[in-house]
Chain A
Amino acid sequence: MKKGLGKYVLIRLVGAVPLLLVVAVIVFVLLQYAPGDPAELMLGMDATPENVAQMRVKMGLDKPLHVQLLRFLAGLLRGDLGTSWQSGRPVAEEIGRTLPVTAYVSFVAIVISSVVGVLVGVLSAVRQYSLVDNIVRVVVLAGVSMPVFWLGLMLIVVFSGFLGVLPSSGWGTPKHLVLPAVTLATYPLAMITRLTRSSMLEVIRQDYVRTARAKGLSMRAVIVHHALQNAFIPVVTVIGIQFGVLLAGAVLTESVFAIPGIGRLTVAAVFARDYPVIRASVVLTAAIFVLINLLVDISYTYLDPRIRYDN
């Protein structure tokens, strides 16, 4: 481990706390402007005003706004995310049930897209304007432009409908993982391929690549030992961002494949005005991005010796 890493990580994590609190305040305030009374929604159309008033007391909605906010923030700082209005279970438990599912699919998807994207991107760059490169560029364009839910539906039609080799929805077996992971991987894969290609093209025109060729290294050795690490630096950022996006919950994909992940949890909570769950999932998303950014920054310092921990 590099010198000063621990201190650097600590500073970054402590610095994230105020940021997350600001996010929490913003989501709290925004939800006040959401249409519809959560208590009415919970009870349905037939509820009497008395029932609604009782429900509001039960949910704590009768308290002044600043008291509600302070309770929420105080809970957050203690690690208490509150209780879901809809299910009556602790929010932490709901998230604990759904996050691992999302994390699992996202991780598989990001690994597929990183490995394939970097390999194809490098190949495409090294053979610029070749047939391979042209095909890659068209496929990448399709990949970034294709709506994810449409792709998911097409995959279901082909692999579940016509071929019948994979289940169309649900969760539990490795087979259930394949279509969602492929669907989720498509966009990041296209992005990573495109960025790796352009980054690699830039790097192989650098003087130090010419120096390496002048030493007598083969093109393959030059790519592997000299170009790749340099070209990888901007790609890491994109991998990090894409992973964050996946972890935040792929609402559409999870809905299409009926996966019990955090995306679906959040959507259900929004429809039910289940504020505690909405707030928790937004703050969680922010925390995930903070962590991933930190990981990306740490990886920079290993990839590029010019970047150091100070400040």
Chain B
Amino acid sequence: MSELPGRTQPLLEIENLHVEYRTLDGIVKAVNGLNLRIDEGKALGLVGETGAGKTTTALAVMKLVPTPPGVITAGSVRIAGREILPLGDAEMQHLRGNQVSMIFQNPMASLNPVHDVGSQIAEVIRLHQGVSPREARVRAAGMLRAVGIPENRAGDFPHEFSGGMKQRVMIAIALACRPRLLIADEPTTALDVTIQAQVIDLIKSLKRDYSGAQLLITHDLGLVAEMCDDVAVMYAGRVVEKADIAELFQNPRHPYTLGLFGSLPNLKKSVHRLRSIGGLSPDPKMLPRGCPFHPRCAERMDVCTERTPSESVVGAGHTVCCWKYSESGGTR
């Protein structure tokens, strides 16, 4: 870390990741050559709409893509410099919940209804820290306190908690072993606004104590602005634009990113009509040739329908996959 001033060690590096689901209806190309890196201590927001491949990307990092039908067909995923895709079950089990952990979208269904919450937290502690059951319960109670739930509720079952409280329990499970990478997949989408605010506040405050890097998956640009340092915009299984948040929010370049911002009703200023993007996200079973966004793109050029653009650097740490910004001007 110190040998390269100004450039911290990447904690998560994903290169050219391809994931597909081989179903009876055809091959769903969920992730198609995704590149991503998160530096130590940073939070990256991965933004995109339904079907963009956000959750599949997260599951690939955990090596939890449901198989069958899911297959990681190519690419490299490195956590703290260590390539994980070739790792076996036992090694992955050692990483999961320990070095990398995950909070899921639906807190209502993510906890086991038949076990009390204390034991669900204690389980991950026992598994990775090799402590006695009694000690694990004590530490679990400590984690409950850390997420703002009284210790005496450790013996209660998930159905005795509200949605917001369940998500707190999930956070306690995820952070119990102080993972180096925390993946949060739409952690507040199922919650009411005022409860979302509590959970965001909690994750932000715990970040300082518990977690190294964060990967926040969301469709909500507001949440990214609130919680992240960097942002990557995903479309049809690829990252189409990435930058730090100040750069991306002030200077979005990719036509899809611009379309997303135009689609958002703004609380600060009133517009009569939203600048929406026409059309629909492509069917991942039949991705269009060339840039997957070209059928919806107002600035489409001939080359866009032919070849897929690669990353172009448009600013400090700001890259875009779009022929408009390609150095070779789309003639390559």
Contacts and interface: CB of A to CB of B under 8 A. Distances in A.
Interface of A: 206-208, 210-219, 225-226, 229-230, 303-306
Contact of B62 (A212, A214, A230): A214
Contact of A214 (B96, B111, B157): B96
B298 interface: no
B96 A216 contact: yes
Contact of A216 (B97, B106, B110, B113): B97
A215 B114 contact: no
B104 interface: yes
Given A216-B96, A305-B114, A210 B128 contact: no
A216 B112 contact: no
B157 A217 contact: no
B98 interface: yes
B44 interface: no
B141 interface: no
7 contacts: A210-B110, A211-B170, A216-B93, A216-B128, A217-B123, A230-B113, A306-B157
Nearest to A228: B114
Contacts of B209: none
A220 to B, nearest CB: 10
A210 B103 CA distance: 10
Interface string B117-152: 000000110011000000000000000000000000
Given A216-B92, A230-B114, 15 more contacts: A207-B104, A210-B104, A211-B111, A214-B62, A214-B104, A215-B96, A215-B97, A215-B124, A215-B173, A216-B96, A216-B128, A226-B115, A230-B113, A305-B114, A305-B157
Interface string B61-100: 0101000000000000000000000000110111111100
Query: Which of the four size classes fits the interface of chain B?
Result: 20 to 34
Given A216-B124, A216-B127, A305 B113 contact: yes
Given A213-B64, A214-B96, A216-B124, A207 B110 contact: yes
A210 B96 contact: no
B27 interface: no
Contacts of A303: 114
A306 B159 contact: yes
B102 interface: yes
Contact of A206 (B94, B102, B109, B159): B109
B101 interface: yes
A180 B18 CA distance: 57
A211 B101 CA distance: 9
Contact of A211 (B92, B159, B173): B173
A215 B159 contact: no
Contacts of B170: 211
Contacts of A305: 113-114, 116, 157, 159
Nearest to B116: A305
B192 to A, nearest CB: 20
A218 B111 CA distance: 17
B124 A208 contact: no
Interface centre among A213, A216, A217 (most CB of B within 10 A): A216
Given A206-B109, A208-B113, A214 B102 contact: yes
A208 B112 contact: yes
Nearest to B128: A216
B97 A214 contact: yes
A217 B124 CA distance: 8
A304 B109 CA distance: 15
Contacts of B62: 214
A214 B64 contact: yes
A226 B114 CA distance: 8
Given A216-B93, A216-B128, A218-B93, A210 B123 contact: no
Contacts of B116: 305
